[in-house]
Amino acid sequence: MNWIALRMLTGDRSKYLGLIFGVTFATLLMAQQVSIFMGILTRTGNQILEVRDADLWVMDNRVRYIDEAPGLQDTDLMRVRGVPGVAWAVRFYTGTIRARLEDGNTRNVHLVGLDDATLVGAPQEMIVGKVDDLKRPDAVIIDKAGYEYMWGQEPYQLGRAFQINDHRAVLVGVCKVAPPFFSDPIVYVRYRQAGGYVPRERTLMNYILVKPREGVDHQELCHGIEERTGRVALTRWQFFWKTVRYFLGSTGIPVNFGITISLGFIVGAVVTGQTLYLFTLDNLKQFGALKAMGIPNRGILRMILLQALLVGGVGYGLGVGLTALFFITTSANLTQLAGMHMNWMAFVGTGLAIVIIVIATSLVSARRVLVLEPAIVFRG
């Protein structure tokens, strides 16, 4: 019976390829959009995950995501350092400011001020230059995508001078970091140097980075810091998900991608369902002959499900392969898609969606066969 079902499926090549194409297109559309969606959400908190030296972030109670951070008092830093279980705590600044290039053009840059003594939060992977070069006067390090945004595809040239808030900045290194949500270049400087670049405010420090002592529970230490300082203390991953939740709830990203993903599901279901239904109609006499030979409805239904699952499996494999090929060819060559990849959750979620599509459409098309009179095979 299984062999007969497969021969019926592949007998009409045009309809068989049409079924494969429908599932492949739906898989490609859903898997690609889900992966890009998850990649964009990860980008919203990449700057948090890039700080690998510290485990805890202390911030103002009003912070909703990383780029919206009111300043903290210097006394907050002293209080945090005095909390039992804290190995060390340092200042950290992050914010957006405008830079002026040598040719007079301006660019918005994301400024990151690192503790002068320890450089906690500095990039981990340098392309040219060294992190310790930040200790030079007016020294800055820029991420790879930021360098291309500011100077195009020119070869890396250290020693370039530009201005930030009418203060001189000298490029001493180019680093590789996970891409941020916004395309602004990430500029790393020392904390005291950041005080000269940022317009004068009452407070500059907007985060305190904390390293717990060995063996100290991170969540308990967060509670201790909050009780001592009145500020919010979060682990790196807690802060990451807080930022992600903000963008999920306060932007149009989920709606836009949700519409595209839903369209992929609908298109796949409609194309697959229509083609499978027409395929079933064209083979009504064959199914009638099988029923006339004594094969029960259960056996017929099993044949149709086998055909649908085979189509789903082949189409899903091709769609996932095309999605992986898309990310392999684009992520390495396009800075805008850097860091995007086929996410395992997109892989599993798309697979479940395809299973639902092929089973649901096969059951709908099987209805005509299950109510079929075997005598149809003897007509005309």
Domain co-membership, 6 together with 90: no
Domain co-membership, 289 together with 145: no
Reported as a single tens digit per residue, the pLDDT across 311-320 is 888 888 998 9
Q: Reduce the DSSP state of residue 256 to 3 states and report it.
A: helix
Q: What is the pLDDT of residue 373?
A: 66
Residue 63 covered by a domain: no
**CB burial string 27-60: b at 16+ within 10 A, e below:** bbbbbbbbbbbbbbbbbbbbbbebbebbbbbbbb
**Helix segments in 293-341, DSSP class H:** 297-331
Domain co-membership, 18 together with 82: no
Domain co-membership, 215 together with 82: yes
Reported as a single tens digit per residue, the pLDDT across 74-120 is 899 999 999 999 999 999 999 989 999 888 888 899 999 999 999 99
The domain total for the chain is: 2
How many other CB atoms are there within 10 angstroms of residue 362's CB atom? Answer: 24
- pLDDT at 240 exceeding the cut of 80: yes
Domain end marker among 171, 198, 230: 230
Phi-psi region of 138 (alpha: psi -120 to 50; beta: other; left: phi over 0): left
Reported as a single tens digit per residue, the pLDDT across 59-72 is 999 999 998 888 89
Domain co-membership, 78 together with 113: yes
What is the DSSP code (8-state) at residue 133?
G
Half-sphere exposure of 167 (CA within 13 A, CB side): 17
Q: What is the pLDDT of residue 266?
A: 80
Q: Which domain range does residue 184 map to?
A: 73-230
**CB burial string 92-127: b at 16+ within 10 A, e below:** bbbbebebeeeeeeebebbbbbbbbeebbbbbeeee
Q: pLDDT band for position 2 (50/70/90)? A: low
Half-sphere exposure of 352 (CA within 13 A, CB side): 5
Q: What is the pLDDT of residue 257?
A: 78
Q: What is the pLDDT of residue 111?
A: 93
Residue 282 covered by a domain: yes
Domain co-membership, 186 together with 145: yes
Domain co-membership, 309 together with 343: yes
- pLDDT at 353 exceeding the cut of 60: yes
Residue 245 covered by a domain: no
Domain end marker among 230, 264, 283: 230
Token pair listed for 170: 């000298």
Residue 66 covered by a domain: no
Domain co-membership, 79 together with 201: yes
- pLDDT at 178 exceeding the cut of 90: no
Mean pLDDT over 212-226 rounds to 94
Residue 360 covered by a domain: yes
Domain co-membership, 32 together with 85: no
How many other CB atoms are there within 10 angstroms of residue 291's CB atom? Answer: 21
Residue 198 covered by a domain: yes
> pTM (2 decimals)?
0.80
CA distance 162 to 104: 9
Domain co-membership, 96 together with 218: yes
Residue 184 covered by a domain: yes
- pLDDT at 1 exceeding the cut of 70: no
Domain co-membership, 22 together with 84: no
Q: What is the pLDDT of residue 171?
A: 94
For residues 94 and 235, the answer to whether their CB atoms sit within 8 Å is no
Q: What is the pLDDT of residue 375?
A: 58
Residue 240 covered by a domain: no
Domain co-membership, 322 together with 225: no
